[in-house]
Structures are given as structure tokens and as C-alpha cells.
Structure 1
């Protein structure tokens, strides 16, 4: 089995310490030759400026293919497209277009006056510029606001029809969850690539809480396994084994590209990639 293509998601730093952590993460993972790396947008658009700065810096200094997250939250159409124009000016030609989560203190997303009402409107406007390759989010487990799983698939198709060329899924814990979703997408006429989003479990309690908020199904066996591993001090070993097995199962089912949510903690992602046969690319310039 050939090694998969990989890509990574980073957080924009919000402190000097976090800046060093981001750069360390880039240094650890960039030798694995990712097809792209993405930089997130904080909930409610809270890291808009930080994301813009981190994207520009990474693009200029790392040599990586950087994709910027862009959302509809707390900004007018003009402001949002202005940010996109800044990305293009900086040489960034890939965007992950998302509606975005509601700002803190609000239960549901509500567009500001003059803002994009949803992700489809954002994608249509970005596509019209002709400046970007656009990726979008997808949900193997039902999105908390969706009426049904089919509604999620219909909305994904609308986003792709609006001009997106690829989707990245929310994280999930079992390969069959992705395969069922992929099959349903094919049945709905979706032909665009769908990248599985992989979340290596650095902290089970935090991951479990995050999964509940996202609507991600939590298998009982996984909860039991981490309960035992935490008691025995083997959580890191279990996390590596489970993530590697998930990725291997996906590859066995025909997946050839994986997108890792690194949380700016690169070691577990690196170890899983190595186990999958993704090894550092030799820098020919440094070979005598």
C-alpha cells in the first residue's frame, strides 16, 4: 500500500509562546511534504487578523502551500472579500470557505447587515473572483444544525456546485463512518474529492467534549479504551495506535489523502504519518 498524501491544519498564534509553538509545529511537519497546510479562523471571527498574518508569514517563509480559512462571521461582504483580496495579494491562492460558528454568547449564526448569509453565498463570490482554489467543510456525522444526514449531503453538493473543488470532513472516529458518507455523496452525484479529517487524540477528555459539540458520534469502545489507558498511563501509546489504525483502514478502503487537525501539537501527527510510511522528504540541497 502506497503512503498517502497528507495535509495539516494549524491554529493562528494568539501569544508569543503560541507563535513559537506554531513555528515548531511547522518545522516538525513540513519535512513530510504536505500537499497544503491550512490556518484556521477562530470562533466568531476572533482570530481574523491573526489568521491573515499567520497565513502571509507561512506563505512567505516556509515554502509550504498555504490555504487560508475564511468565514462569514461578523463581517460584511465587502470586508470579507477585502480579506480575500489581501490573501491573493500575498500570493495565497487557496481558501477553506466556511460559514463559521456563532460568536460567543450566541446560540446560532446570524449574518451581520450586509454580510454573507451562508457559505454558499461566500463560495459563489470567491469563485467569481477567479483567484482561488476553494475547499469546504463536510460532515460524516450529522451537523448539529442540520435536519438530517441527507440535508448535510445536499448542502455539500450546493457548496461544490457554487464553485468549490474539494471538501474536508469534520473528524470522526471509525472508518465506516467515512465510507458510509462517501457512498451517500456518490449516490447524490458528488464527484469532487473528499478528504477525511483526522484528529489525533492528544487529550481524550477535551476531544470527547469537542466531539459532543460538533455532533461527532463517540463509540463506547473508544471511551472504554481511553478510560483503561489513562489508568495505566498509556494514553499516548493508545492514541497513536488508534489513529494509525483508523488511517490504515481508510487507505484500505481507497483513500489516498488525509488531512490532520494538528492542534499545533505535531508529535502525535508526525508519529502516525511515519507509521503510515510518510517519511521526511530529503533536502537535496543539503546532500554533499
Structure 2
């Protein structure tokens, strides 16, 4: 389903993000988790993209498999990093022929393992350029591909000037982006401030809130290393410090994420996007904590 139709049909969207597996066993485990989350009736699922070609082919294969073997709408990440224009054309042509209608267009992180990487060799250096390119390509839908872009509630790490950051985001939207999916965050005030900044900048597309429950100390440390939503509130850190083991950490993390979601729903968030880390248990527990068996029930419980 095209992302515009999804937004038209759903006052609040609920989506899940996966990363491509590296082994056959991991692939089988991932599909088991996708099947379980399918019961929650998400609006769509997305699959990340490895820099420098590390998992690109697996991303393509997984996206096509989801499209053909499940009833889910698949959104593929696509980055500027290490890509020529012919390569991007080939990827989009494959997606179009497979019935895939939606892309999340990103600049992408420089590959850590690729020596002498030169971004000037890429066809595009900025996500805005990639958005324009994707929108120019034919898709199975006559409207072309649906396109999403990234937003940063805590501020873009490469753009300390927040006014400049919002100008850059506005250019991505003006280039043809249909929605914004934010990086993960743990303080809802950061999201509300970001949403207000978007409004002041004249950005009128749906903004989806990125949620990731902390399920272990190792997960949290990895998140810090990647600088993904690294501003963890002291109150949450204190609660995690009290935990005796990762089972307790997971309970704290799920509870925190549940309260985030409850507050976001009460404040008319346009969508919740769950970073699943390829697991289904934490996301399912959040749904249960919110008193719902699936996403439709969550919408039904949203205040008028």
C-alpha cells in the first residue's frame, strides 16, 4: 500500500523497523518475529540499510520477501552512501517490479570498515537530492514512490545550528518527502519541541515518533556508541542502575517506553515507529501495557 493511502486510512500509524539478518539462522528467527508482530496489524514495517554494501543485498531480499510472503506493507531504507546513479536506478527498478511502493530516503552514515571512503564519489551527498531522484523514478503506483525522511528531535548530530537543521529538513520535504520518521528519543518534550519547530518552519507532513525500549545494558551501551538517541534522562538511568539483571532492565525499559507511548497518543502523535532490534517481545509487551491487542485497538483508545 502506498504511504499516502496508509496515512489517509489511519489517524495514527503504528510501524516497526527491522535490520537485515547476517546469517540464514538469523533470517529464520527474524521471520518468526515478523510473523508474530504481524498479529498486531502494523501500518507498515521498514528495513534498514547497511553502509558500504555490508547488508544491502539482504535488505533488498528481505523487503521483497516481506512484500511477497506476508500481508505487511514494506518500506525500504535507501542511502546516498557508496552509490552511483545507475546503482540507485537498478534498486528502484527492482522494487517497482516487485510491487514495493515506499522508500525511506537517507544520506546514510559513512561506512566504518571502508577505507578511503570519499563521499564526493557518491551520486548524491544529501538526502534532499536522493528524495528528488526517487520521486523522479517510475513505480508500480502512478503517484511514484512514497518517500519518508529522517528527523532528529534532539537535534541533527551534524548540524548544531537548529535553525539551519530545520531549513535542511524543510528542503527535504519540499523535494517531495511525504512524511518524517524521527530518530529514537526518551524524553517526549524533545519530540514536542521538534514538532513545534516543524510547524514554525512550515512543515506540514506527518511526523512519526521513533520509540526504542531499552532491553539490556548492552543495548544501551551500543546505542551510546552509535550516538542514537543518546540523551537518556537521569531518572531512567537511575532506574536502570537499580536493576539486578537484564530481565529487570527490560521491565524498566518497556515501562518507560509504554509511558512515552501513552503520553504521545494523548497528545495526538501522528504515528509511533518502534525500533524492534529484530525482536517482538518488547513491542508486544508495550501493546499489552497500553491495554490493546493490536494497533487498531490503540487507535480506538486514543482520546478524541
Query: Are residue 236 (structure 1) and residue 260 (structure 2) matched?
Result: no
Matched residue, 2:275: 261
With normalisation by structure 2, the TM-score equals 0.86
Q: Which residue number corresponds to residue 286 of structure 1?
A: none
Match of 1:183 among 190, 196, 199: 196
Cα distance per residue 1:170-201 (max 9 Å; x no partner): 00001111001101110111111100011111
Alignment partners' CA distance in 2, 1:215 and 1:274: 25
**Number of residue pairs matched by the alignment:** 281
Query: d(CA) in 1 for partners of 2:12 and 2:244?
Result: 30
Residue of structure 1 equivalent to 2:238: 224
CA distance in structure 1 between the aligned counterparts of 2:273 and 2:248, rounded to whole angstroms: 25
Q: In 1, are the aligned partners of 2:216 and 2:246 still within 8 Å (CA)? A: no
Distance 1:8 1:232, change over 3 A: closer
SS class of match (2:203): coil
Q: 1:51, 1:150 → 2: CA distance?
A: 34
CA positional deviation for 1:243: 0.8
- Evaluate the alpha carbon distance shift between residue 126 and residue 271 of structure 1 in structure 2; reply closer, same or farther with a 3 A threshold: same
The Cα shift of 1:45 comes to 3.6
Q: What RMSD over aligned residues (CA atoms) do the two structures have, in Å?
A: 2.4
Q: 1:280 to 1:173 in 2, by over 3 A?
A: closer
Checking the alignment, whether the CA contact within 8 Å between 2:186 and 2:229 is kept in structure 1 is no
Normalised TM-score (structure 1): 0.90
Does residue 126 (structure 1) correspond to residue 134 (structure 2)? The answer is yes
Structure 1 stretches of 5 or more lacking a match? Answer: 283-288
Partner of 1:247: 261
State the Cα distance separating 1:92 from its structure 2 match.
0.2
Q: Which moved more, 1:232-241 or 1:79-88?
A: 232-241
Residues 1:271 and 2:279 aligned together: no
Give the superposition deviation at 1:207.
2.2
Q: What is the CA deviation profile of residues 189-223 of structure 1, one whole-angstrom value per residue up to 9, with x for unaligned ones?
A: 11111000111112234324424523632222211
- SS of the residue aligned with 2:119? coil
Q: Once the two structures are superposed, what CA deviation does each residue of 1:115-134 show, in whole Å capped at 9, x if it has no partner?
A: 11211111001111252000
Partners of 1:176 and 1:200 in 2: CA distance:
17
Shift of 1:112: 5.0
Q: Could you give the per-residue CA deviations for residues 129-166 of structure 1, whole angstroms, max 9, x where no partner exists?
A: 25200001100112221132222222111111001110
In the superposition, relative to structure 1, how do residues 24 and 88 fare at CA in structure 2: closer, same or farther (>3 Å)? same
Q: Unpaired runs of 5+ in structure 2? A: 1-9, 139-143, 297-304
User: Given the alignment, which residue of 40, 48, 60 partners 2:68?
Assistant: 60
